[in-house]
């Protein structure tokens, strides 16, 4: 649980602090939320201080990349130009049990855009109806993902594809118990990846039946946690989806598959290669922050320096606020390096973080301690306390304060917060991961794992081809599932080429499918 | 629900009758229990007559095949020569949820035989430890399957294999709620195939860790429902098992994949080709039985004729008793044909059935209405009311009374009996089945589907090769997973050859595994 053992303990509410760091990363690295080594909601009894809340992330804070910085994670562009209709499927609460509870039905939301679809029947070509391109929703409102996955809209006309975005259970409007869904483990217990995958299978099958499109091939798409789900879906439900594009999917960030320090090593490396001065400033900032934040007077000064909308109660809040920004991109190093050498490190840090939080300068103040959760991050905290145990550590050489990870600590914190204990080895039992190249060399097919090396999550992804049809597309400059964003005029060549390859491979899957179907069964 | 619409309704307890037929088949066709179109436990309130109980099947009634009839299903031979030790794994109640209940732990039984195992370390060869041969237990005590799967013992020395037999949850000693496990849907709800597969994965992983045998390849074996589980396990957990031998696994006996009449058509065809007289006698017997069984006097006479230990209360019990025998094998036709033409059809039928139930002649009477469930068939009834909906019909041309199938009827009966409604399309959603040749042509590997055409369950199996490593081994004369039995001196050449091929293919998987592991990760 990334217990900051080497740090002074005065900086913030102890149980929450170790949980917050990765959560912040999650939020902003992903631009929209993504998996992380985040975790427990502190029990309100265990600590007199305010309960931990997820960091503020307003959608307007997510910016489109400029033409020269396409590797930045993009914001919700062209939302208004991506029309879809909302639908609700009567979904089973529990696919894997038949207890009386299990058969409870809830409204499971999905979105459709059939503008480009080659419908079954008259309009369809020799190959029958156009494919279904299905986004396997991750932890948040499905509109958010539909709006931010412009790639699917961009390529739909070429394929005559029906676009389907399926919400992940317990997020957005797909809450099985309505407002009570997050009440306790009794209700949240049904928020698992396996149930979500089964949901997708059931919705897709029902939808194809209702549309008379049984013959249409299905390709699944997803980014970040959604990318993990897309790749797992292809592996577990090959009879439902003929292939998967899994963008920035850290499916190997579990157990001991990927070194625990690799994520933060990647961030540090990125900054160091950008500017050793910048690296040093950030590295120095944490101690200074803790020191000044140790008194009420200090906190008042810090609040002014960081233009907090309300006086900050814990230095730890500022720490989280900075942490998020610094994990996001090394581009802000230019701002830091522009300061005279003797300037205050926190002033430098604030200026750099402002570039991230307030790029346009139109925010009068920063909501450093506000809680706001537009993407349902509470749900992700639950997932990080149950299945999604992605251990991360920070080494002494990092620009972040060193931090360890302990399964026991995570377990205790989760039990205290949610009344649940993680099953830290379940993901690798259910989905594999160890020696994935050997296992999938002769098993499975039709998966693209795309990753950008500017994205520290890439370190937990599949970075090498596994077989002739389980492919790794890796870009040196790519950021977190940038390939899934809408194309823009300023897209660099490597990004255009990456997307071209993705289209070509997907076209190959669909052609192969039609060819196989045309053959008589042997 | 195979409602015998065309039959007189006076013969037995209505809700039970349509359920019993396939259940009987299950029992004896399989020699040990197997999947069937069986179903609901009649509610004791809905009918004043005695509650339905599964048919009697004493183990001693299962005979070894004679040397000239190896296609007969074999009995529990050499039980005493197959030593194993029993172990118990702390198993999770629910792998796919995190409700407070889900984390309940129960004692999950498995058996080991390490007589032939090439252990890790000193004794192991260049390829490391010998493989784990794991039987994925079906619906019954695991000892029963260990005792009756001599093939694994026979080939273990060649492979230096560790033999593992894992019990299926809710059977044998692996009852999550002890004696209360079958109390209601609240407890039984956790009896599902998906949970069972996850159980297997967890046990195998834990066992390998405890034995220091992480490097050992795992091959899964199973017959009948166990064969379905073995093939599904390879498809869902390729990172745990490198291959599967699925013997007589009717994974296509769901939905509309296989014609609903194919099972009984196969039985009828078998009898007709043996003797048209025999076919006619059996076909005629049902009406005669119903007619005579319509009065108390008639039932008394029938009880004498059939040497019932107790006077039979319902003609339907005799019907079930005969039905089972006649589904079992057409070999008894010799007995029927030996009678003079004018003899009573029920006398003929009794003589033929006696060949099956009382081959050695040492039974003084027949327990026609006794309830006895050595193989936990109650559990299978639950499964047949939830996931395992295998529709079967009987056509007018059959030697059995015609019968229809209705999803609605099945659902209502199950609801009445267990308080649960089936999910009739779930199996094909979770595991596929439609166009399996197309789906698995380019996905998955290393599965042997073995089937014998004398076994009517073969009609719901995979009977053609799907790819170079998803193989169908079909024998014309084979019976229900005969290949998994111990070899005997009397085995016919085709059976010897079938087993030889299985060994050769499995050896190929293991060689390939070691070769892949020896290569540096690319």
Name the residue ranges covered by the structural domains of chain B.
Answer: 85-255+427-520, 261-358, 377-422
CA gap B244, B506 in Å, rounded: 9
Tokens of A434: 């160890």
CB within 8 Å: B430 and A95: yes
Picking from A205, A432, A437, the nearest residue to B521 by CB comes out as A437
Enumerate the residues of chain A whose CB falls inside 8 A of the CB of residue B515: none
Enumerate the residues of chain B whose CB falls inside 8 A of the CB of residue A198: 429-430
Q: Which residues of A25-59 are buried (b: 16+ CB within 10 A; e: fewer)?
A: bbbbbbbbbbbbbbbbbbbeeeeebebbbbbbbee
Q: Using alpha carbons, list the distances in angstroms from residue B261 to A495, B40, B272, B459, B478.
A: 56, 21, 16, 10, 21
Residues 12-51 of A with CB under 8 A from B: none
Q: Is A202 on the interface with B (CB under 8 A)?
A: yes
Picking from B239, B386, B420, the nearest residue to A439 by CB comes out as B239
Residue A385 makes CB contacts below 8 A (sequence gap 6+) with A39, A40, A410, A413, A414, A417, A418, A420, A422
Range B484-508 average pLDDT: 96
Tokens of B378: 């109650």
Residue A495 to chain B, least CA–CA distance (Å): 25
CA gap B124, A275 in Å, rounded: 53
Q: The pTM is what?
A: 0.86
Q: Which residue has the tokens 């790794």?
A: A472
Which CATH architecture is the domain A261-358 placed in?
Up-down Bundle (1.20)
CA gap A185, A150 in Å, rounded: 36
* CATH topology match: B85-255+427-520 vs B261-358: no
Residue B33 makes CB contacts below 8 A (sequence gap 6+) with B26, B27, B138, B139, B140, B224, B225, B375, B376, B377, B380
CA gap B331, A286 in Å, rounded: 85
pLDDT of res. B28 = 34
Interface test with B, best of A92, A93, A99 (most B CBs within 10 A): A99
On whether the CB atoms of residues B240 and B214 are closer than 8 A, the answer is: no
Q: Using alpha carbons, list the distances in angstroms from residue A345 to A202, A332, B191, B408.
A: 54, 14, 61, 73
On whether the CB atoms of residues A88 and A107 are closer than 8 A, the answer is: yes
Is the pLDDT confidence value at A25 over 70? no
Average per-residue pLDDT for chain B: 83
Collapsing DSSP states into helix, strand and coil, what is residue A308?
strand
DSSP H or E segment with residue A321? helix A315-328
More confident residue, B28 or B190: B190
On whether the CB atoms of residues B455 and B29 are closer than 8 A, the answer is: yes
Catalytic residue among A455, A458, A481, A491: A455
| Lowest-confidence pick of A282-291, B92-101, B124-133 | B124-133
Q: Per residue in B266-284, pLDDT tens?
A: 999 889 988 999 999 999 9
Q: Is A462 on the interface with B (CB under 8 A)?
A: no
Residue A445 to chain B, least CA–CA distance (Å): 6
Is the sign of the CA dihedral A436, A438, A444, A447 positive or negative?
Answer: positive
- The DSSP code for A487 is P
Q: Is A183 on the interface with B (CB under 8 A)?
A: no
Is the pLDDT confidence value at A432 over 50? yes
Maximum average pLDDT range among A123-137, B214-228, B318-332: B214-228
Average per-residue pLDDT for chain A: 83
Enumerate the residues of chain B whose CB falls inside 8 A of the CB of residue A102: 189
Q: Is B517 on the interface with A (CB under 8 A)?
A: yes
Range A259-283 average pLDDT: 92
pLDDT of res. A33 = 30
Picking from A94, A425, A434, the nearest residue to B239 by CB comes out as A434
Predicted confidence band at B62 (pLDDT cuts at 50, 70, 90)? very low
The DSSP result for A73-108, as a single string, is: PP--TTGGG---EEEEEEEES-TT--STGGG-EEEE
CB within 8 Å: A98 and B442: no
Q: Using alpha carbons, list the distances in angstroms from residue A61 to A137, A354, A356, A374, B308.
A: 22, 11, 8, 12, 83
Residue B158 to chain A, least CA–CA distance (Å): 25
How many A×B Cβ pairs under 8 Å?
159
Predicted confidence band at A124 (pLDDT cuts at 50, 70, 90)? low
Instruction: Calculate ∠ Cα B60-B66-B68, nearest 5°.
Output: 155
CA gap B265, A521 in Å, rounded: 23
Picking from B189, B433, B469, the nearest residue to A98 by CB comes out as B189
Strands A85-92 and A105-113: antiparallel
Residue B92: closest C-alpha in chain A:
A423
Predicted confidence band at B32 (pLDDT cuts at 50, 70, 90)? very low
Active site residue A514: no
On whether the CB atoms of residues A190 and A174 are closer than 8 A, the answer is: no
Cα of first residue to Cα of last residue in chain A, in angstroms, is 54
The DSSP result for B388-441, as a single string, is: ------B-TTSSSPPB---HHHHHHHHHHHHS----TTHHHHHH-BTBHHHHHH
Residue B101 to chain A, least CA–CA distance (Å): 8
Is the pLDDT confidence value at A203 over 90? yes
Strands A162-166 and A105-113: antiparallel
- The DSSP code for B362 is -
Interface test with B, best of A103, A196, A204, A239 (most B CBs within 10 A): A239
Is the sign of the CA dihedral B286, B287, B289, B293 positive or negative?
Answer: positive
CA gap A85, B517 in Å, rounded: 49
CA gap B23, A177 in Å, rounded: 39
Tokens of B183: 């109390």
CA gap B8, B5 in Å, rounded: 8
ipTM: 0.86
Q: Is B205 on the interface with A (CB under 8 A)?
A: yes
CB within 8 Å: B446 and A445: no
Is the sign of the CA dihedral B22, B26, B27, B29 positive or negative?
Answer: positive
Is the pLDDT confidence value at B124 over 60? yes
Enumerate the residues of chain B whose CB falls inside 8 A of the CB of residue A429: 198, 201-202, 205, 240
Is the pLDDT confidence value at B355 over 50? yes
CA gap A146, A135 in Å, rounded: 8
Residue B368 makes CB contacts below 8 A (sequence gap 6+) with B56, B303, B306, B308, B309, B312, B317, B318, B321
Residues 302-361 of A with CB under 8 A from B: none
Q: Is A504 exposed, middle or buried (0-12, 13-18, 19+ CB in 10 A)?
A: exposed
- The DSSP code for B125 is B
Predicted confidence band at A434 (pLDDT cuts at 50, 70, 90)? very high
Q: Is A180 on the interface with B (CB under 8 A)?
A: no
Catalytic residue among A108, A375, A480, A481: A480
Nearest to A16 by CA among A28, A7, A4, A31: A4
Q: Per residue in B158-199, pLDDT tens?
A: 999 999 999 999 999 999 999 999 999 999 999 999 999 999
Q: Using alpha carbons, list the distances in angstroms from residue A54 to A16, A105, A327, B189.
A: 10, 30, 16, 36
pLDDT of res. B491 = 95
On whether the CB atoms of residues A477 and A450 are closer than 8 A, the answer is: no
CA gap A26, A7 in Å, rounded: 22
Picking from B100, B188, B428, the nearest residue to A185 by CB comes out as B100
Range B122-144 average pLDDT: 88
Enumerate the residues of chain A whose CB falls inside 8 A of the CB of residue B185: 98-100
Enumerate the residues of chain A whose CB falls inside 8 A of the CB of residue B420: 98, 103
CB within 8 Å: A99 and B198: no
Nearest to B262 by CA among B395, B434, B388, B387: B395
Q: Is A111 on the interface with B (CB under 8 A)?
A: no
Range A265-274 average pLDDT: 90
Residues of B classed as catalytic: 224, 455, 480
Active site residue A180: no
Picking from B192, B443, B516, the nearest residue to A96 by CB comes out as B192
Residue A480 makes CB contacts below 8 A (sequence gap 6+) with A29, A30, A31, A34, A73, A223, A224, A248, A452, A455, A457
Q: Per residue in A381-403, pLDDT tens?
A: 899 999 999 999 999 989 999 99
CA gap B102, A155 in Å, rounded: 43
CB within 8 Å: B238 and A186: no
Picking from B99, B198, B238, the nearest residue to A439 by CB comes out as B238
CA gap A427, A257 in Å, rounded: 12
Predicted confidence band at A320 (pLDDT cuts at 50, 70, 90)? confident
More confident residue, A491 or B75: A491
Is the pLDDT confidence value at A250 over 80? yes
Residues 236-265 of A with CB under 8 A from B: 236-240
More confident residue, A7 or A134: A134
Q: Which residue has the tokens 């296509």?
A: B252
Which class is A85-255+427-520 in CATH?
Answer: alpha beta
């Amino acid at each position: 649980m990334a217990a900051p053992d080497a740090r002074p303990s005065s900086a913030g509410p102890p149980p929450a602090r170790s949980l917050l760091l990765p959560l912040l990363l999650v939020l902003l690295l992903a631009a929209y939320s993504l998996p992380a080594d985040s975790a427990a909601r502190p029990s309100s009894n265990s600590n007199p201080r305010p309960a931990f809340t997820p960091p503020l992330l307003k959608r307007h804070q997510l910016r489109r990349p400029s033409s020269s910085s396409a590797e930045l994670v993009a914001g919700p562009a062209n939302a208004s130009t991506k029309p879809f209709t909302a639908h609700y499927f009567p979904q089973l609460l529990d696919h894997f049990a038949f207890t009386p509870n299990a058969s409870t039905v809830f409204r499971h939301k999905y979105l459709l855009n059939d503008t480009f679809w080659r419908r079954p029947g008259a309009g369809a070509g020799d190959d029958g109806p156009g494919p279904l391109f299905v986004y396997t929703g991750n932890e948040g409102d499905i509109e958010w993902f539909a709006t931010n996955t412009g790639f699917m809209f961009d390529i739909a006309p070429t394929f005559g594809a029906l676009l389907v975005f399926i919400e992940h259970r317990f997020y957005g409007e797909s809450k099985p118990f309505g407002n009570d869904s997050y009440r306790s483990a009794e209700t949240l217990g049904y928020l698992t990846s396996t149930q979500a995958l089964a949901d997708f299978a059931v919705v897709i099958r029902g939808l194809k039946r209702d549309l008379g499109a049984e013959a249409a091939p299905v390709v699944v798409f997803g980014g970040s946690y959604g990318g993990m789900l897309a790749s797992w879906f292809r592996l577990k439900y090959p009879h439902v989806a003929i292939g998967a594009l899994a963008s920035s999917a850290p499916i190997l960030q579990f157990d001991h598959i990927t070194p625990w320090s690799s994520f933060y090593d990647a961030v540090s490396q990125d900054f160091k290669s950008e500017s050793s001065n910048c690296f040093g400033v950030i590295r120095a900032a944490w101690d200074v922050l803790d020191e000044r934040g140790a008194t009420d007077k200090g906190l008042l000064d810090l609040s002014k320096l960081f233009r907090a909308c309300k006086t900050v109660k814990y230095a730890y809040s500022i720490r989280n606020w900075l942490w998020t920004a610094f994990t996001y991109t090394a581009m802000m190093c230019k701002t830091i390096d522009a300061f005279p050498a003797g300037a205050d490190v926190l002033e430098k840090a604030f200026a750099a973080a402002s570039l991230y939080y307030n790029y346009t300068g139109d925010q009068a103040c920063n909501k450093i301690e506000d809680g706001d959760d537009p993407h349902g991050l509470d749900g992700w905290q639950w997932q990080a306390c149950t299945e999604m145990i992605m251990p991360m550590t920070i080494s002494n050489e990092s620009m972040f304060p060193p931090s360890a990870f302990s399964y026991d600590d995570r377990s205790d914190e989760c039990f205290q917060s949610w009344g649940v204990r993680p099953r830290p080895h379940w993901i690798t039992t259910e989905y594999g991961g160890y020696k994935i190249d050997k296992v999938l060399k002769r098993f499975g097919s039709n998966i693209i794992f795309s990753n950008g090396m500017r994205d520290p999550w890439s370190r937990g992804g599949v970075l090498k081809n596994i077989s002739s049809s389980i492919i790794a597309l890796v870009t040196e400059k790519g950021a977190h599932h940038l390939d899934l964003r809408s194309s823009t005029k300023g897209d660099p060549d490597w990004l255009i080429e990456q997307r071209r390859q993705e289209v070509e491979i997907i076209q190959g899957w669909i052609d192969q499918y039609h060819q196989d179907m045309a053959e008589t069964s042997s």
